[in-house]
Amino acid sequence: MSGEQTPIAVSADPPVCSLPMVPGGRCRLFEAWAQLIPVGLFATDAAGVCRYANPAMLGLLGEVPVSSPVRDWLGQVHVEERGSVVAEWSQAVSRGEPFRREFRLEEGKGAAWVHCHAFPLRDHDGAVSGFVGAVVDATERRDTQARLDFLAYHDALTGLPNRDLARDRLRQAMSFAARGGFLVALLLVDIDHFKMINESLGHSAGDAVLIAAADRLRRCVREADTISRLGGDEFLLILTDLRASDAVATAAAKILQALSEPLTIDGHELGGSVSIGISVHPEDGSDFDTLLGKADTALYQAKAAGRNTYRFYAEQMNADALRNLEIRSQLRWALARGEFELHYQPVASVADGSVVGVEALIRWNHPERGLVYPDGFIPVAEESGLIVPVGEWVLQEACRQAAEWRRQGMARLFVAVNLSEVQFRRGDIASSVIAALADSGIEPGLLELELTESMLIGSDARVLSAIDRLAGLGVRFSIDDFGTGYSNLAYLKRFQVHKLKIDRSFVGGLGQSGSDAAIVRAIIQMARALNLEVVAEGVEDRRTLEFLREQECDLMQGYYFSKPLRNPFKMDGRPLRPEAWAGL
């Protein structure tokens, strides 16, 4: 290190290195120290502005802007810490107190981390005349500390988080899951016959197998998930943000597949496999030890079942996951095989019973199970993303049918199609709708798209722009299952909605519950005030219909009038009118 004094962030006045409050001899002493150890030394005036710095200080801080003494070394502090360092320094200066702090510097400016310690100097009267300070490079110590911290929470062989960190991550995952109503799954993965590998090929081969297993596991999970090594040949995976047990089963199947691919260690080809035990929060518990214990029990069952497989702790989950996996694999073919069909439920005027439109409701004509209703497969289709092509088919088919009815000379009837949130997130819904309109030739005003409140509440710019684009073409929007979602109705202002569909859970209870009647009445009044049409869903009896008439509800839909049917219209093109209706 050179002993030469170098000017730093000082203007010409006062002269470089002339430190009125620091005797010159002291400076030379500083320089002598700095040659022994790389200590950056600086001195400031009473206002805390740097008036002197030695070469080591410049080396540590890198290039210091010379134009303004105010932007001295503080300007080199990393931007994320600068505010707090400046605040602490200013406080020390104004109070005449020592300053002590470790902080990060801007990248590429010299050292990464420095430790700075400065003291006030006082004149004969005890007034602060300036500060002298020392700065040392703290990068290595910080790195060592970071490395120690890493080792404390990671497995040395694989670099994966250890049990302590896994425990912490689970806590975070559970608190996040609680907000979104998600599941968190613990997958305890155990390498089958690991002991044999270790004993026959030696520990270094065993280590290589563990490292390879860790790599493969990393490739099976998403970034937000955690893989940890608990010790021996046991790995723990924490999967977050899951909606259903079959998503866990899919992840488990992927792991079984990835770890069964042959591995070559020391010239030996090893055909490995793993067994997996699964527990799921919140069903199986809400703390690490309970969930790990249950995953362990499930692991035991997976091994007892012949290894190379997975088991859930809860029997029901095994059954659900299997059923959903089966549905999912069959759904993939259902579209190509033409197994879906649409049924149409008429929507009628409450005032005179005339049919004004229909709602298209999908059914799956399953080769073995018969007609499957949407509740039995829509959630799986959403979770797997298959709802995007299925939803496109629904749009195409519903528009085609509407055009067909028009050709047969039927009155102008709208056709309503239910949309899933996933179609907005994963598909290009606006293009699908535009294509369905163009292919069928129906006017956009006859197509109504049913959204749910949750889709609009949590919506991002993509949803908003798709809705705007379609509404601009004349497509109409309704809010389905209204009243079951959120009490915050601000979204009604932001979106061009035309209609509210009162959820059938309120309509069905009109006969028995006073509060349901109050809710339905309030929704009808609100819709009127907002100039929205209102439909009551699930009208099952005459009393309900009479109530709706009194409240001047616009439209109704329900079994009392008609169930969803393949063709709700008579061949002569006139709507069905059940006998019960005629009496009103």
Contact positions vs Mg ion (CB under 5 A)? 418, 450, 480-481, 537
Query: Residue 216 CB: number of other CB atoms within 10 A?
Result: 18
Q: Phi/psi of residue 474, each to 5°?
A: 110, 0
DSSP string computed for 376-397: GTHHHHHHHTTHHHHHHHHHHH
Rounded to whole angstroms, how far apart are CA atoms 199 and 565?
Answer: 67
Burial label for 4, CB within 10 Å (0-12, 13-18, 19+), is: exposed
420 contacts ligand C2E (rule: CB under 6 A): yes
241 forms part of the interface with ligand C2E (CB under 6 A)? no
The candidate with the shortest Cα–Cα distance to 280, out of 415, 176, 185, is: 185
**Distance (Å, rounded) from C-alpha 444 to C-alpha 162?**
58
Contact partner, 564, from Mg ion, ligand C2E, none, Cβ < 5-8 Å per class: ligand C2E
Among 56, 347, 361, 553, binds ligand C2E (CB under 6 A): 361
Which residue lies nearer to ligand C2E by CB, 130 or 538? 538
Phi, psi of 242 (to 5 degrees): -95, 145
Q: Is 481 in the site for ligand C2E (CB under 6 A)?
A: yes
Q: What is the enclosing helix (H) or strand (E) of 289?
A: helix 288-304
327 binds ligand C2E (CB under 6 A): no
Among 279, 418, 440, 551, binds ligand C2E (CB under 6 A): 418
Nearer to ligand C2E, 102 or 428 (CB): 428
Q: Which is nearer to ligand C2E, 285 or 558 (CB)?
A: 558
Using CB under 6 A as the binding rule, whether residue 206 contacts ligand C2E is answered as no
Q: How far is the CB of 464 from Mg ion (least distance, A)?
A: 21
Which amino acid appears at position 439 of this protein?
A: D
Name residues whose C-beta falls within 8 Å of residue 144's C-beta, 6 or more positions apart in sequence. Answer: none
**Do 186 and 295 contact (CB within 8 A), yes or no?**
yes
Site for ligand C2E in 487-516 (CB under 6 A): 504
Site string for ligand C2E, 377-416 (x = CB under 6 A): -x------------x--x----------------------
Q: 556 φ, ψ to 5°?
A: -145, 160
Is there binding between residue 538 and ligand C2E (CB under 6 A)?
A: yes
Q: In the complex with Mg ion, which residue's Cβ is closer, 216 or 501? A: 501
Chosen residue from 29, 100, 150, 373 binding ligand C2E by CB under 6 A: 373
Least distance in angstroms from the C-beta of 584 to ligand C2E: 16
Is residue 453 at the binding interface for ligand C2E, with CB under 6 A as the rule? no
Strand-pair category, 340-349 with 555-556: antiparallel
DSSP state of 583: T
Closest to 274 (Cα-Cα) out of 206, 188, 155, 205: 188
Of 174 and 502, CB closest to ligand C2E? 502
Q: Which stretch binds ligand C2E (CB under 6 A): 123-131, 249-257, 458-466, 531-539?
A: 531-539
Closest approach of Mg ion to the CB of residue 344, in Å: 12
Rule CB under 6 A: say whether 485 interacts with ligand C2E. no
Q: Count of residues binding ligand C2E (CB under 6 A)?
A: 24
Please state the closest distance from residue 418 (CB atom) to Mg ion, in A: 4
User: Does 202 interact with ligand C2E (rule: CB under 6 A)?
Assistant: no
**For ligand C2E, the closer CB: 373 or 486:** 373
DSSP string for residues in 155-179: -TTT--B-HHHHHHHHHHHHHHHHH
CA distance 187 to 40: 52
Least distance between Mg ion and beta carbon 484 (Å)? 9
Pick from 15, 20, 65, 374: which binds ligand C2E (CB under 6 A)?
A: 374
Which of residues 76, 240, 345, 551 is near ligand C2E by CB under 6 A?
345
Smallest gap from Cβ 389 to Mg ion, in A, equals 20
Whole-number Cα distances in Å, 136 to 36, 43, 89: 13, 15, 17
| Cβ-based nearer residue to ligand C2E, 254 or 563 | 563
Q: Report CA dihedral (447, 486, 361, 351) to the nearest 10 degrees.
A: -70
d(CA 304, CA 307): 7
Q: Which is nearer to ligand C2E, 122 or 542 (CB)?
A: 542
Q: Which among 317, 144, 309, 167 has a CA at the least distance from the CA of 238?
A: 167
Nearer to ligand C2E by C-beta: 176 or 559? 559
Q: Which stretch binds ligand C2E (CB under 6 A): 16-24, 112-120, 289-297, 553-561?
A: 553-561
Residues that bind ligand C2E (CB under 6 A): 345, 361-362, 373-375, 378, 391, 394, 418-420, 450, 480-481, 504, 537-540, 557-559, 564
